[in-house]
Structure 1
Amino acid sequence: MARPRKPLLSRGRIVAAALALVDTEGLQAVSTRRLAAELGVSGPSLYNHFTTKDEILDAVADTVVAQVDISMFDGRTDWRTALLEWARSYRSALTDHPHIVPFLAQGPGRRPAGLRMADAVFGCMVQAGWPPAQATRIGALMRYFVAGSALGSFARGFVDDATAYDPADYPHLGQAHLLADHQQQVDQGAFETGLTALLDGLALQYARLTRADPP
């Protein structure tokens, strides 16, 4: 039997095409009509694999989350080290695909990779001795922090024009026009500074919690 001239349509091909559109043009670029055109198929053929555009975006979001390393939540790594390594991997995945972050911010819903990640974080915190309610808050806090850090660039928010920041109006922004040239250093450094501060604060809470536990 002769091979088809075009690869058969599959969920994987649809998700890959949708992710490419999100990465290059943003969430608004994704539509079933546009995806069908990109894949060289008729629009209705997509519905053999997905019933709605949101289902496609759910699959795209879960593909990105599946890139996040959660192996550190293995029951052997201490909770602080696990959160540190996970947050770095999580941010790396999101900064590779920043346009999907607003959709991911809605929560894991029924996405398998997202639910596995939430389960791993929560389980690690509870196993370490955090009360379940606080473990839930820690998971939410980390997601807010990581997603926010990946959503935009502080350094790119300043224009590369020294005349834009008149010292008469902005006496402390004399070097602001140089920030864009050091985007990665500024943004990565800000993330690491915030992550350390966040984990230091949690460590203080944890110390108080464990001291309060009866022997």
Structure 2
Amino acid sequence: MARPRKPLLSTDRIVAAALVLVDEEGLGAVSTRRLAAELGVSGPSLYNHFRTKDQILEAVADAVSAQVDLSMFEDGRDWRTALRDWAVSYRAALTAHPNVVPVLAQGPGRRPSGLRLADAVFGAMVRAGWPPAQATSIGALMRFFVLGSALGSFAGGFVDDESAYDPADYPHLGQAHLLADRQQQIDERAFETGLSALLDGLGRQFAELTDSASASASASASAG
């Protein structure tokens, strides 16, 4: 009997296998030798798809970026609602794959999905009436905030040991040993608090921008 054929090696298979390794063991676990073993192929066969480990990690990062929903920028939602919904989707993708965040933090580079993400946010802000320079700043601000929220856990940084927080040394940390047990709830609430504060601030800036533009238009009309 003929032996069963192995699935053909493809870029998607390599990226999927690499993402599993990164999720389970971190970026350092990825190597062409390790991936070849995981996929049941010879090492050189990977070079038909990727020449270096860095190229593989770039593709893995782009696959995570592709998980971010961008539909809110095209379906008529106002800029503030769209920005909020996008930030929530973006963070969800990153928290599902936190070990990939250091690669994503380097910027989109030439990654197609990363560039589409940046293009969607910038384009939506400009269409909403933000000047291009401020639209760029908003994209950068949101990226800093979302990436930062996914890089680590505030609540998870405390140990589950009441004796570590002696009131004589830390009079306001008497309940800190309880934080780690409520990590997800606390971190999500912190993200929502920060996101609301950012959007409130941007909303005020946009109102000032709109008022200034209206005043200038009125002044021009009066002068005419």
TM-score relative to the length of structure 1: 0.97
Who is 2:136 aligned against?
136
> Residue 7 in 1 paired to residue 12 in 2?
no
Identity %: 78
Who is 1:193 aligned against?
193
Cα separation, 2, equivalents of 1:141 and 1:27: 26
More deviation, 88-97/53-62: 53-62
Alignment check: 8 A CA contact 1:153 1:187 kept:
yes
Who is 1:116 aligned against?
116
Any stretches of 5+ residues in structure 1 without a counterpart? none
Cα separation, 1, equivalents of 2:115 and 2:168: 52
Any stretches of 5+ residues in structure 2 without a counterpart? 218-224
Question: For each residue in 1:61-113, what CA deviation from the matched residue of structure 2 results, as whole angstroms up to 9, or x when unmatched?
Answer: 11111110000001621110000000000000000000000000111111111
Cα separation, 2, equivalents of 1:160 and 1:150: 22
Counterpart code for 1:37: A
Counterpart code for 1:18: A
Cα separation, 1, equivalents of 2:75 and 2:42: 48
> Residue 168 in 1 paired to residue 176 in 2?
no
> Residue 80 in 1 paired to residue 94 in 2?
no
Which structure has the larger Rg? 2
Cα separation, 1, equivalents of 2:77 and 2:5: 50
More deviation, 33-42/79-88: 33-42
State the superposition RMSD in angstroms. Answer: 1.1
Post-superposition offset of 1:198: 0.4
Who is 1:42 aligned against?
42
Cα separation, 2, equivalents of 1:110 and 1:100: 16
Q: Within 5 Å, which residues of 2 pair with 1:47-58?
A: 47-58=47-58
In the alignment of these two chains, the number of paired residues is 214
TM-score relative to the length of structure 2: 0.93
Alignment check: 8 A CA contact 1:167 1:173 kept:
yes
Counterpart code for 1:187: D
Who is 2:182 aligned against?
182
Post-superposition offset of 1:3: 7.3
Q: Secondary structure at the match of 1:106?
A: coil
Cα separation, 1, equivalents of 2:141 and 2:50: 32
Q: Secondary structure at the match of 1:72?
A: helix
Counterpart code for 1:194: G
Who is 2:67 aligned against?
67
Cα separation, 1, equivalents of 2:3 and 2:47: 23
Alignment check: 8 A CA contact 1:75 1:124 kept:
no
Counterpart code for 1:80: R
Alignment check: 8 A CA contact 1:21 1:29 kept:
yes
Alignment check: 8 A CA contact 1:91 1:147 kept:
yes
Counterpart code for 2:52: T
Post-superposition offset of 1:5: 2.9
Cα separation, 1, equivalents of 2:7 and 2:90: 32
